Amino acid sequence: MAFHTRALLGACAVAALCAPATAETLTIATVNNGDMIRMQGLTQDFTDKTGHTVEWVTLEENVLRQRVTQDIAAKGGQFDIMTIGMYETPIWGKQDWLVALDDLPDSYDTDDILPAMRGGLSVDGTLYAAPFYGESSMIMYRTDLMEKAGLEMPDAPTWEFVADAARKMTDKDNEIYGICLRGKAGWGENMAFLTATGNSFGARWFDEDWKPQFDTPQWKETLSFYIDLLNEAGPPGASTNGFNENLSLFQQGKCGMWIDATVAASFVTNPDDSTVADKVGFALAPDTGLGKRGNWLWAWALAIPAGTQKEAAAKQFIEWATSKEYLDLVASREGWANVPPGTRTSLYENPEYAKIPFAKMTLDSINSADPTNPTVDPVPYIGVQFVAIPEFAGIATQVGQEFSAALAGQQTVDEALAKAQTLTAEEMEAAGY
């Protein structure tokens, strides 16, 4: 009897050791864009390797942001992995809402992540979200229209050159506008562009004492320049144009230049969708000679909310989706042009990837943005086209509405800046700054 009991216990122990770890079902919240959709299509590879399955919750960007914020703040536990951006990561990491990704295996090679991306997704040197794809902004321009205007686009142009070229390329009778820029109000819309542009003019959101700076000449110069340029060389109704509206205009051949996210490069050079696919050139975002360019830095990253019951499986997924092997997997199935850009140094050292026309310009743009030192003068915040504090989204959306109204001609530049200064000061005071 004793022998039987021992044998049974022994068998149980062996069975327990040999049994595979429990297969989990992970719920992942994400946005609907090309790279994320591609990842959903390749999930079977992850399931084959780990046994875990994945359920996707795909939402529109603003809805996703609201849903994950609400869920993480209320500890709803609906998601095991969340797709979040560079704005949320430092704020949530600091509040211990996210699981630190400081124990990833050596094979993952954390040091291979581009320094700008790693810096923007870390708090005090600890990584809280792994970048799935990264982007900056740059100039996309029509090579044929530039040539027709008798100009040659330098790799690193100034705003003066861009404004001059935009005016010369404009042919309103034929619905060709020299420059298309974001005008739609929103912290991630016109304010992303204008905050980054402001950096190149030496403007900043706050001084080192958190005092709003919209009453400075740098902001006046930034906003006046932007509005004058769009009024003279921009498309009609520019104050309602966001990324998609400008993409549509550019693809139909109506924009001479477009300064926006580097991810747009793959859209405008795709002959299936773009009528100007073979006539697009790229250049760094402009500067004014002050040492800072008007480009931003952004990453969509994968993070694990603190409190998930499936932390180990969630980490395995993040390792898989943001690994070098994943980039190879996408390349083998869909070609190098479809690999998620802007995350790993090794990708840009790959000679195959270097053949992609916009690869170098994307890397140079990302490398030239510094989230910890975004503008000419020192600032107390982190973020290139945003300020990584919880109050920013609300304040910047209101400021964006004032600037959009100024572009639409409903108020002057001075009025818009005065209102922006007042409302920002009030909100910051209420927030205890």
Q: Provide the binding-site residues for other proteins, judged by CB under 8 A.
A: 27, 29, 31-34, 37, 40-41, 55-63, 67, 70, 74-79, 188, 242-244, 247-248, 251-252, 261, 263-264, 267, 272-275
Mapping DSSP to helix (H, G, I), strand (E, B) and coil, where does residue 27 land? strand
Upper half-sphere CA count for residue 212 (Cβ side, 13 Å): 19
Residue 365 CB, nearest approach to other proteins (Å)? 16
206, with CB counted inside 10 A (0-12, 13-18, 19+), is middle
d(CA 123, CA 116): 13
Tell me the closest approach of the beta carbon of residue 40 to other proteins, in angstroms. Answer: 7
Backbone angles phi, psi at 258, to 5 degrees: -145, 125
Nearer to other proteins, 223 or 238 (CB): 238
> For residues 43 and 199, which CB has a smaller minimum distance to other proteins in the complex?
43
Cβ proximity to other proteins: between 275 and 410 the closer is: 275
Q: How far is the CB of 412 from other proteins (least distance, A)?
A: 30
In the bound complex, what is the minimum distance in angstroms from residue 207's beta carbon to other proteins? 32
15-23 contact pairs (CB < 8 A, 24+): 20/51, 21/51, 21/312, 23/50, 23/51, 23/52, 23/53
Q: How far apart are CA 17 and CA 112, in angstroms?
A: 35
Which residue's CB is nearer to other proteins, number 335 or number 409?
Answer: 335
Q: Which is nearer to other proteins, 260 or 402 (CB)?
A: 260
Least separation in angstroms between residue 60's CB and other proteins is 4
Residue 426's contacts (CB-CB under 8 Å, 6 or more residues apart) are none
Measure the CA–CA gap between 201 and 378, rounded to whole angstroms: 14
CB of 268 to other proteins, least distance (A): 11
Q: How far separated are the first and last CA of the chain, in Å rounded?
A: 75
Please report how close the Cβ of residue 248 comes to other proteins at its closest, in angstroms.
5
Task: Collapse the DSSP code of 256 into the 3-class scheme (helix H, G, I; strand E, B; otherwise coil) and give the result.
Answer: strand
24/287 with CB nearer other proteins: 24
How many CB atoms neighbour CB 1 within 10 A? Answer: 5
Distance CA(383)–CA(200), nearest Å, equals: 14
Q: Is the four-CA dihedral 25, 26, 27, 28 of positive or negative sign?
A: negative
State how far the Cα of 169 lies from the Cα of 290, in Å rounded to an integer.
26
Question: Which CB atom, from 139 or from 276, has the smaller least distance to other proteins?
Answer: 276
Phi then psi for residue 71, to 5 deg, are -70, -40
Q: What's the min distance (Å) between Cβ of 245 and other proteins?
A: 10
Rank residues 67 and 292 by Cβ distance to other proteins and give the closer one.
67
Q: Are strands 280-284 and 177-180 parallel, antiparallel or unpaired?
A: unpaired
The answer to whether residues 170 and 177 touch, using CB atoms and an 8 Å cutoff, is: yes
Judged by phi (left if over 0) then psi (alpha if -120 to 50, else beta), residue 383 lies in left
Using the minimum distance from each CB to other proteins, give the nearer residue, 77 or 380: 77
Closest CB to other proteins among residues 165, 302: 302
Instruction: Quote the least distance from Cβ 71 to other proteins, whole Å.
Output: 8
CB of 32 to other proteins, least distance (A): 4
Q: Residue with structure tokens 């205890």?
A: 432
